Each structure stands twice: as C-alpha cells, then as structure tokens.
C-alpha cells in the first residue's frame, strides 16, 4: 500500500500534474521527496508515458528535464537518460 502511494512513479505523476497546472513550488517539493526516498532525479518537466515501469524502486536514476519517454518502457536502476553536454 505504501509503495503505491510513495513509489517513484506515483510521486512523479502527481508532481508532473501539478507542474503542468502551474504549481511549480509544490512540484519541486515532490521532486525532492522522490530524490530523498528513492535516490533518483526525475523532474516534473520530463514526460513519462503510461505503463512505464521503474525497476528496483528506481535506485540511482537520473532523467533530464527535457526527456520524453514513451509508453510501456522499463527503466532499470542506475540509468541516466538525456542531459548530454557540449564537449569542451
């Protein structure tokens, strides 16, 4: 029961909805909650399709804020998606 409420995806989904409605401060708090509970960075600004699952509780996942992830994907632990910087 607690996993369904405090799981990484439910927290992200709520944060994403609030972000889209303009409640960016509350969204930021939820993003921080996801970080502290799951050691992962999944900003509300990214898009994650329905049915996407995150394995092993989402330990160590980093997703760039501009990322768009499709439906029914599986994201494992320790994964980084997006965020490529220019080479100096």
pLDDT in tens, 30-79: 999 999 999 999 999 999 999 999 998 889 999 999 999 999 999 999 99
Span 8-17, mean pLDDT?
96
Give the gyration radius of the chain's Cα atoms: 13
Residue 53 parent element (H or E): strand 53-54
Tokens representing 56 are 């092993």
CA distances (Å), origin 79, targets 1, 21, 39, 50, 70: 26, 28, 12, 19, 16
Tell me what pLDDT residue 36 has: 95
> What angle (nearest 5°) sits at the alpha carbon of residue 2, between those of residues 58 and 5?
70
Q: What is the dihedral of CA 60, 63, 64, 68, to 10 degrees?
A: 170
Give the residue extent of every domain in the chain: 1-81
């Amino acid at each position: 029961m607690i996993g369904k409420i405090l799981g990484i995806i439910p927290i992200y989904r709520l944060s994403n909805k609030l972000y889209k409605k303009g409640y960016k401060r509350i969204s930021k708090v939820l993003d921080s909650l996801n970080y502290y509970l799951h050691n992962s960075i999944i900003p509300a600004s990214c898009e994650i399709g329905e049915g996407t699952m995150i394995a092993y509780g989402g330990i160590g996942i980093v997703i760039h804020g501009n990322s768009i992830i499709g439906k029914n994907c599986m994201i494992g632990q320790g994964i980084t998606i997006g965020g490529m910087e220019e080479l100096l």
